Amino acid sequence: MHAETVDRIMTLKKQYGLTVGILADLQGPKLRVGKIKNDSIDVKQGDVLTFVNEPCIGTKEKIYMSYADFPMDVNKGEQVLIDDGKLVLEVLETDKISKVKLIVLFGGKLSSNKGVNLPETKISLPSLTEKDIKDLEFILTLPVNWIALSFVRKAQDIKDLKRRIAKAEHPAKVIAKIEKPEAITRIKEIIKATDAVMVARGDLGVEVPMEKLPPIQKQIIKRCIQRAKPVIVATQMMESMITNPSPTRAEITDVANAVLDGADAVMLSGETSVGKHPIKVVQAMNKIIEEAEQHYEMHTKRPKPNPDSSTFYSDTICLTAPKIADEI
């Protein structure tokens, strides 16, 4: 299926003379609950659930967690978030072998295969999992331009992926997806190691307090600009257009502000993959981007060359050239 999609893109690129990059996304250590009996169960505040690391059909008695080291890594009092934070649980006890007891703080419908976030836990899984390595072998047979690594936690994660790509003699560049608090504390070394950065606000917005997400996004964009690394802002950019034919005012402002902050790209996901209006959403986003770019200068402070620097004259020329080009 993926190979067919890439072939179709390559054909259309030639047919219409387009310059279109292809990005392949490695899943990384995404944690999930297993299959639930009848596909879902209702859990309420105060319920005590048992998570196990051996496959089973989930019931209120026990639920399978895809992460084998879950009992070893979690500690009493740590929060466990399910389904993008819709359900919140807290660890009561762990036997450090195969079982973890949790109490439900905020309940709801617990469905099969929903994602799990552990914002307070240091997980021992590598960022490049066995599944990722197998997927990478396939990806490296395709003419992709970018490979994104999910749940990056440190620069070494990027270096390991780059080493595998170089060994295959493939020209693809690497995008570090920032989704974990650990990545934020090591953002300088990650930006230095990677070719580009993605602010992946879906899991990141669950892993950090919601009010901290906007300044974190701006901080990452600023640091990428300083290091001359491309930066992408992703997730829920125009989420309402999955069903609606036009974006909300908040979404319009969100996209525009990402551009005005200096993002090199804004990304659509569910809006085009499963949405009802994939063409309309691309057209709408493109209009917002083009308009925001017309006003980029008024929101950007130009760096001033340092007269004491040995590169003062070349810095001055480089900083002045785009201004002259804009005004001529």
**DSSP states of 123-136 as a string?**
--S-SS-HHHHHHH
d(CA 9, CA 12): 5
Q: Is the distance from CB of 62 to CB of 134 less than 8 angstroms?
A: no
- Last residue of a domain, which of 59, 90, 117? 117
pLDDT of 305 reads 76
Same domain (yes/no): 221, 109:
no
Tokens of 262: 């200096």
319 pLDDT higher than 90: no
Place of tokens 């749940």: 151
209 pLDDT higher than 60: yes
Q: Please report, for the domain that includes residue 89, its CATH number.
A: 2.40.33.10
Question: Sorting pLDDT into bands at 50, 70 and 90, what band is 298?
Answer: low
Same domain (yes/no): 84, 147:
no
Domain containing 193 equals: 2-29+124-299
Pick 310 or 257 by higher pLDDT.
Answer: 257
pLDDT of 138 reads 98
pLDDT of 295 reads 86
Same domain (yes/no): 100, 140:
no
Question: What's the pTM value of the predicted model, to 2 decimals?
Answer: 0.86
Same domain (yes/no): 233, 171:
yes
* Residues forming beta bridges with residue 146, ordered by sequence position: 23, 173
Same domain (yes/no): 191, 252:
yes
Question: Sorting pLDDT into bands at 50, 70 and 90, what band is 296?
Answer: confident
pLDDT of 88 reads 97
Domain total for the chain? 2
Same domain (yes/no): 15, 74:
no
d(CA 145, CA 196): 12
Q: Averaged over 23-39, what is the pLDDT? A: 94
Domain assignment of residue 306, yes or no: no
d(CA 241, CA 120): 33
286 pLDDT higher than 60: yes
Q: Please report, for the domain that includes residue 154, its CATH number.
A: 3.20.20.60
Short-list 76, 72, 73, CA closest to 89: 76
For 142-181, the pLDDT digits (tens) are 999 999 999 999 999 999 999 999 999 999 999 999 999 9
For 75-126, the pLDDT digits (tens) are 999 999 999 899 999 999 999 999 999 999 999 999 999 999 999 998 888 8
Same domain (yes/no): 149, 228:
yes
